[in-house]
Amino acid sequence: MVRKVVSAAPETSLTDVAKLMRKNRTGSVIIVDGTKIVGILTESDFIRLIARGCDMKSALAEDFMSRNVITCDPSITVIDALMVMRSGRVRHLPVVKDRGLVGVISIRDIIAATQISSLYII
């Protein structure tokens, strides 16, 4: 789990969100309104937006973010996190504790965790 969560406000331009992703070397930005998670933008979202010819400078995060964000609890196991990701078809899981964002689990975290154990068979 990455504890340094990269977040942005809903009114942030897509260009600025992309710059945040590049600067922080992350595949997702959590969109927050105050302390409430209201959306997420990922690398995959940007590929779709570019393919559509979206004007990144004028478009806002709130216009294109995924709104139904799947989250998890910090106590989730690696296998359970993988199952949540598979069933929800997502690669980033914001981790929430007491309604506060405390981290993000990415598919890269899952891969890293399973590489250190020979108990997992794909």
Q: What are the pLDDT digits (tens) for 31-90?
A: 999 989 999 999 999 999 999 998 888 999 999 999 999 999 999 999 999 999 999 999
The pLDDT of residue 105: 96
Q: Is residue 121 part of a domain?
A: no
83 lies in some domain: yes
The answer to whether residue 2 is domain-embedded is no
Say if 103 falls within a structural domain.
Answer: yes
Residue 76 is assigned to a structural domain of this protein: yes
pLDDT over 90 (residue 26): yes
- List the CATH number of the domain containing 84: 3.10.580.10
Contact yes or no for 113/119 (Cβ under 8 A): no
- What is the per-residue pLDDT for 117? 57
Task: List for the chain the helix, strand, coil content (%; round to 5).
Answer: 35, 25, 35
Has residue 1 been placed in a domain? Answer: no
**Does the pLDDT of residue 122 top 80, yes or no?**
no
What residue numbers bound the domain in which 51 lies? 7-115
Q: Could you give the CA distance from residue 8 to residue 32 in angstroms, rounded to a whole number?
A: 6
Residue 111 has pLDDT above 70, yes or no: yes
